[in-house]
Amino acid sequence: MIRKKLWKIPIPIAIAIIIALFAGGGALIYALTKTTEKAGPVGYWKFDEGAGTVAYDASGNANNGTLTNFDFDDD
């Protein structure tokens, strides 16, 4: 028997994923894990690191993302 699991992705994460995928070739890879729900955002990514492959989570929840094919541009 195959079990199907449905994941509820909070709206802010879904929006961040969509923006990252369609904003000039950048891609945000986010690993979904089971967690307990709590008030407030689960992550806030400024994408202002300037270099590297990590998008640091400014929410304080340590949900850092991995950047691939991401171009830091000052436009």
11-52 confidence digits (pLDDT tens): 666 666 666 666 654 444 444 444 566 677 888 888 888 888
Task: Give the span between the Cα atoms of 62 and 72, in whole angstroms.
Answer: 22
5 domain-assigned: no
DSSP state of 67: E
pTM: 0.47
pLDDT at 39: 74
How many domains is the chain built from? Answer: 1
Residue 53 tokens read as 């492959």
Q: Classify residue 73: in a domain, yes or no.
A: no
Residue 42's nearest CA partner among 67, 68, 56, 61 is 61
Does residue 23 lie within any of the structural domains? yes
Least Cα distance to 30 among 56, 75, 63 occurs for 63
Q: Is residue 4 part of a domain?
A: no
Helices (H), ranges, the chain: 11-22
pLDDT band at 9 (very low <50, low <70, confident <90, very high): low
Could you list the residue range(s) of the whole structural domain that residue 60 is in? 11-33+44-68
Asked if residue 50 is part of any domain, the answer here is: yes
